[in-house]
Amino acid sequence: MLKFVKNHMESITGIEIYPMISLLIFFIFFVGLFWWVFTAKKEHIKEVSEIPLENNQNEQSL
């Protein structure tokens, strides 16, 4: 079955650009994600990390 798909894909002109585009999108997304993680304020990260604990405390107090 893979041989059928490979032969079919090779017959499409210009298909070799799609793997490069997907790799570029993948790379840009993760570079942006790493940039956001390293530049995010520590207070924001601490606040977001405590959200599950706050919800749990609210449920116990009811």
Q: DSSP letter for 54, please.
A: H
Check residues 5 and 14 and name the one with the higher pLDDT.
14
Model pLDDT, residue 52: 82
Check residues 36 and 4 and name the one with the higher pLDDT.
36
CB contact at 8 A, 9 and 15: yes
Handedness of CA 45, 48, 54, 56 (dihedral sign): negative
Model pLDDT, residue 11: 83
Tell me the pLDDT tens digit for each residue of 6-47.
Answer: 777 778 888 889 989 999 999 999 999 999 989 988 898 888
Number of structural domains the chain divides into: 1
Q: Which domain holds residue 48?
A: 2-61
Model pLDDT, residue 9: 78
